[in-house]
Structure 1
Amino acid sequence: MSESSIPGHGQPSLISPVSAASGFAGILAEIAATAAQRERQRELPYREIERLKALRFGALRLAGSAGGHGLPLSGLFAVSRDLAAADSNIAHAFRNHLWQVEAALRLPDHPFHAHVLALAGSGKTVGPSFAESDAVAAGARPSRVLGRLAWDDRREAYVGSGDKVYATGNLYNDAFVGIAVESRENRTVQYVLERGEGVSDEDDWDAFGQRLTGSGTARFRDVVVKASNVYPADPPSAPEAAPWGFTFHQVYLTNAIAGIARRVALDAVDVLRARRRNFYHGEAAQPSGEPVLQALLGRIRAYAAGVEAVADRAVNALQTAWDNHGTHAEYETTLAATLAASEAKVVIDDLAPQIASWLIDLGSGSVVASAGALDRHWRNIKVIASHNPRVYKERLLGQNLLGGQLPPNGAFF
């Protein structure tokens, strides 16, 4: 499928003007055209991700002088939604890196964050080396994979070990970041670990969707962290600062589902045009002339557009929060962004799987063959939606209306 799959004015296309202006049109069209093949063959997208790195996809928010594209936060979400429409696995694989860059842009003069920005500007990506695997109880906070960095006199460097589960994107990343306690001064530090000896990733992610995100287990065994790559912890936030971290992670995932919904609408056109046999009880010689199928196609289009509009509302609220970072309006705008992200997730997680199901109704027996891998849309939507389930968002939104309950302040809510 190409960006011209649906010709005409005012009709949806795979690629937004932001992506086209940023030089991603060609690669996005190619990724879209080969997504089903990768799904069928479980072909990890190393090549596609390397090409995106070369085009500085991981530096969307950096200034041109720093190796980036100089996009606002809303522009990042526009391009990443286009990538999700092309292949949601690849868009998802960039999430942790893009968040780390976003955090770095808030403290660009801090040496740790400056290092992250330099990596992004050079076309490299970073992943996490901290874990949530042992935080099993309600209210518990995760510990860190490399919870302690031990100084090694012989190597004149730090050494640490640990495992990171759900290491989304780490198969494709060039470096890893985290927080630990270093042994010499017993202080909390941040570090950048370059990929090398002792770092291994397992493609053991066995979910029924988002199969190619590299979300398996990352293992770190006696990895060496250079002393020059160990930095002070971030300064404490001001007491009046908003505690919700701009809810980037959640909006990014919801935005990816909006991209899949767009792809469903685009694929629906191809499905209906390709159908050659109609049911004997139909009203038209060809399925594309069948009024009920035309109406269903229209419903898919309308609902997909609605999903994108709801996602845009959350993105715009997040942009407003970013614009007010460090101002007297930061608290209220960040709270508004968190609530908008929750509202968007509740609506989109409900509607998007239905849109993907309608695609099967539209194509009937013509689309259930594994060759088209069209079932991946429903599967991918449900797996992305399983992150931070919407039932908790619904509860918060109701409690907030009734009594002003504030959201949890963990970054992933």
Structure 2
Amino acid sequence: MNLARVDTSDTLSCAHRIDSDAEARAVARHLAAEFATGAAGRDRDRRLPVEELNRWSASGLGGMTVPRAYGGAEVSYATLAEVFATVSAADPSLGQIPQNQFGILAILRELGTEAQKRRFFAEALAGRRFGNAGPERSGKRMTDITTRVAPGRGGLRLNGRRFYSTGALFADWIPTRALDARDRPVFVFARREARGVTVIDDWSAFGQRTTASGTVVFEDVAVEPDDILPTYLFAERPSLTGPTSQLIQAAIDLGIARSALADTIRYVRERARPWMDSGLDQASDDPTIRHGIGQLSTALQAAEEVTRESAEALDAIAAEPITLESSAKASVAVAEAKILTTEIALEASETLFDLAGAGATRGAYALDRHWRNARVHTLHDPVRWKYHLLGHYVLNGAYPRRHSWN
């Protein structure tokens, strides 16, 4: 079990500050070109992307959603989605690792005090990384919480054991959900270097292998009152925090689909051989392969457009005071995108081998990583429940439940 700490101190001294949507998209394209090189090798050897993450931090993309009032670019949801799709097409692990940071910044924007906003937004702009200590594995339901922050010796103490902790191994701050002394759900920021914080690299999934999404243990960790956000208040107010997180998830799957289709086209053009009964000299002339590529391209284009439209819907909703109705519309819009990006990521990464042929399964090409990544990442929230959400909304006018998966 790897308990290593990733040092970002050198990176933070030169962290850039993103100034606009256009710059964020351009920086993402530049980084993606770098990240694509070596992505297959990192997956094969499970080599954690330390240097790549340091370049991400130095680029300033980690603070791109910080409000302009606090020195950030406050990029649109449309730009946020495109940045994650672009990076994830190069390496979806490098898309997933920083994803929680933007959900955290959204929660901070909704619930933080003025002092907390100034403090943590400045941390994000400086290039510091916010990881995540995710759901627990001990309860019957993924929402069960035994992690607690309560008065102890010398002040507040955080205790608990969490899993699915994407980004924690590489983080400066590890936020986690916990219950306070009154059994209310809160969000606690713990410093990665704090005494009693242990990050265990026991992530062993067959896809998204380099996210290090394993275990975090908090043992009598000292925290300050200013390190806590009262997430129980979300029960009383609508917000876009859930749709923000889901939009990023959809964008990561969209990136996987883009890359899988691009590799399919490249392999068919350069390496695939036509089937013996076709009487053709080139696989790219095979009408059945052309049909398959056309089908995938159409599905990908549909996913692209619906994801863009859902992001633009969030931008329009965010421009007005958030209501229960508009929050519900945001969840519905993003659910539609999540359905299509999930399905095309899985279809493109699976159909790749049918169109490219048996030779494409050779380990040297590492094309299986697309399906493995798609299969693992799309399990974050079952797409069948997105259909349920949409059907219940359309049939009965029922608003989706408000949480991070809606």
TM range, normalised to the smaller chain? 0.7 to 0.9
Q: Is the 8 A contact 2:177 2:186 kept in 1?
A: yes
Query: What is the letter of the counterpart of residue 189 of structure 2?
Result: V
Partner of 2:131: 127
Query: What is the letter of the counterpart of residue 311 of structure 1?
Result: T
Q: Is the 8 A contact 2:165 2:216 kept in 1?
A: yes
1:306-317, aligned counterparts within 5 Å?
306-317=302-313
Using the alignment, how far apart are the partners of 2:337 and 2:45 within structure 1? Answer: 33
Secondary structure in 2 aligned to 1:220? strand
Partner of 2:395: 402
Using the alignment, how far apart are the partners of 1:377 and 1:47 within structure 2? Answer: 22
Q: 1:384 aligns with which of 346, 363, 377?
A: 377
Partner of 2:81: 77
Partner of 2:56: 52
Q: Quick one: structure 1 residues 320 and 287, their matched pair in 2 at CA, closer, same or farther if it must change by over 3 Å?
A: same
Q: Quick one: structure 1 residues 395 and 59, their matched pair in 2 at CA, closer, same or farther if it must change by over 3 Å?
A: same
Counting matched residue pairs gives 385
Give me the identity figure in percent.
27
1:3-402, aligned counterparts within 5 Å?
18=22, 22-62=26-66, 68-107=72-111, 109-129=113-133, 131-137=135-141, 141-143=143-145, 145=147, 147-153=148-154, 158-178=156-176, 191-196=188-193, 197-225=195-223, 227=224, 229-231=226-228, 233=230, 236=233, 241-242=237-238, 245-275=241-271, 277-324=273-320, 326=321, 330-402=323-395
Using the alignment, how far apart are the partners of 1:18 and 1:282 within structure 2? Answer: 47
Q: Is the 8 A contact 1:260 1:377 kept in 2?
A: yes
Q: Is the 8 A contact 2:283 2:289 kept in 1?
A: yes
Q: Cα offset for 1:402? A: 2.5
Q: Cα offset for 1:75? A: 0.9
Worse-superposed segment, 51-60 or 397-406:
397-406
Q: Is the 8 A contact 1:244 1:335 kept in 2?
A: no
Using the alignment, how far apart are the partners of 1:219 and 1:108 within structure 2? Answer: 25
Instruction: Give CA-to-partner distance per residue, 1:265-284, whole Å, 9 cap, x none.
Output: 22122212221643332333
Q: Quick one: structure 1 residues 273 and 187, their matched pair in 2 at CA, closer, same or farther if it must change by over 3 Å?
A: closer
Query: What is the letter of the counterpart of residue 342 of structure 1?
Result: A
Using the alignment, how far apart are the partners of 2:131 and 2:61 within structure 1? Answer: 15
Q: Cα offset for 1:384? A: 1.8
The unaligned stretches of length 5 or more in structure 2 are 1-20
Using the alignment, how far apart are the partners of 1:24 and 1:270 within structure 2? Answer: 23
Secondary structure in 2 aligned to 1:125? coil
Q: Is the 8 A contact 1:38 1:45 kept in 2?
A: yes
Secondary structure in 1 aligned to 2:39? helix
Secondary structure in 2 aligned to 1:142? coil
Q: Cα offset for 1:409? A: 2.1
Using the alignment, how far apart are the partners of 2:286 and 2:49 within structure 1? Answer: 38
Using the alignment, how far apart are the partners of 2:384 and 2:62 within structure 1? Answer: 32
Query: What is the letter of the counterpart of residue 148 of structure 1?
Result: V
Q: Cα offset for 1:236? A: 4.0
Query: What is the letter of the counterpart of residue 194 of structure 1?
Result: R
Q: Is the 8 A contact 2:98 2:130 kept in 1?
A: no
Q: Quick one: structure 1 residues 123 and 64, their matched pair in 2 at CA, closer, same or farther if it must change by over 3 Å?
A: farther
Q: Quick one: structure 1 residues 28 and 19, their matched pair in 2 at CA, closer, same or farther if it must change by over 3 Å?
A: farther
Q: Is the 8 A contact 2:393 2:399 kept in 1?
A: yes
Q: Is the 8 A contact 2:108 2:229 kept in 1?
A: no
Q: Cα offset for 1:198? A: 2.7
Q: Quick one: structure 1 residues 242 and 171, their matched pair in 2 at CA, closer, same or farther if it must change by over 3 Å?
A: same
Q: Is the 8 A contact 1:131 1:144 kept in 2?
A: no
Q: Cα offset for 1:93? A: 1.1
Worse-superposed segment, 33-42 or 270-279:
270-279
Secondary structure in 2 aligned to 1:314? helix
Query: What is the letter of the counterpart of residue 389 of structure 1?
Result: P
Query: What is the letter of the counterpart of residue 152 of structure 1?
Result: R
Q: Cα offset for 1:94? A: 1.1
Using the alignment, how far apart are the partners of 1:245 and 1:400 within structure 2? Answer: 19
The unaligned stretches of length 5 or more in structure 1 are 1-16
Query: What is the letter of the counterpart of residue 23 of structure 1?
Result: V
Partner of 1:5: none
Secondary structure in 1 aligned to 2:276? coil
Q: Cα offset for 1:119? A: 1.2
- TM-score, structure 1 length as denominator? 0.83
Q: Cα offset for 1:220? A: 2.0
Query: What is the letter of the counterpart of residue 222 of structure 1?
Result: D
Q: Is the 8 A contact 2:272 2:359 kept in 1?
A: no
Using the alignment, how far apart are the partners of 1:273 and 1:406 within structure 2? Answer: 47
Using the alignment, how far apart are the partners of 2:183 and 2:396 within structure 1? Answer: 43
